[in-house]
Chain A
Amino acid sequence: MFGPAIWRFGGRMDPLQEMQRLQREMNRVFSGLEQPLNPEVPPVNAWVGESDVVVTAELPGVNPEKVDVSVVGDTLTISGAREAAALKGGESYHRQERSHGRFTRSLQLPFHVEAGKVEAKYDKGILRVTLPRAEADKPKKVAVKCE
């Protein structure tokens, strides 16, 4: 990562550009995030408990019937669409800041879940998916015997 930069010191060097590049590189290394968040997919929060994981996503103004929640193995996928307001004749936008269109979000869960017992609730524009941990995946307690 620092390799090619050494050679740049020889010829023309722009110190400001070099500093900014270094800063970007450092941020990337220490942020732990390999890729920046894609603004086109809804952001999610995940809460992990001992026996389940709760995933929440802010999806204001989405028809709950058109939200699709599916679980395959340990991957949760939330998809849906938000329709843009249909403009009739004579109507016009003064401002359009809200996004619309299809969205899909996949998330890898920390453990396998009981796909049949997944619950999804949509309230006040927030989707909350509760995924119970699969029985087979729960940690087994091993009793320590002494002889």
Chain B
Amino acid sequence: MGNKVDYQKEPAQTPVKMERTRNRKVFVPKVDIIETGDAMMMYADMPGIDEKSVEVVLEKNILTITGTVEPQDCPGRSIAYSEYDFGDYERSFTISDEVDRERIVAVVKNGVLKLTLHKAPQAEVKKIAVRTE
């Protein structure tokens, strides 16, 4: 029983779904978002990542967090029992204009990514003088 060869082209979905070059599972990390007086704190559970393997990208209004995880296998042993799978992490959020783009702080500790999104100082109120003609 060899692999079945399929010469038919695969129809695309509309809109075209994003695909990854690496054939690996991708998980959506669970997050907590807490609003404080002057910032938004975001905590994302991403076990297996460190500061080198996580990426935070802000493009226009979309904040994307991605984490790349190395396989957790043990050389010389074979998996006997498995309840969870490992894989990369990816999740995107739309953020509002009140976040200060220049002051986003990302810290990784114990497999948790902590993002601090400071709020932008309120646009100054501009008063327009009204004249009479």
Contacts and interface: CB of A to CB of B under 8 A. Distances in A.
Given A56-B72, A93-B33, A46 B48 contact: no
Chain A: number of interface residues, binned into ranges: 35 or more
Contacts of A96: 32
A94 interface: yes
Nearest to A126: B47
Interface in B46-73: 46-50, 72-73
A61 B45 CA distance: 7
Chain B: number of interface residues, binned into ranges: 20 to 34
B31 to A, nearest CB: 6
Interface string A79-103: 0000001011011111111110000
Contacts of A61: 43, 45, 109-112
Contacts of B100: none
Contacts of B110: 60-64, 122, 124-125
A49 B79 CA distance: 9
A63 B112 CA distance: 12
B32 A93 contact: yes
B99 interface: no
Contacts of B7: none
B48 to A, nearest CB: 5
A60 B47 contact: yes
Contacts of A91: 34-37
A92 B37 CA distance: 10
Interface of B: 30-37, 40-41, 43, 45-50, 72-74, 76-84, 109-112
Interface of A: 37, 43-50, 52-54, 56, 58-64, 85, 87-88, 90-99, 110, 122, 124-126
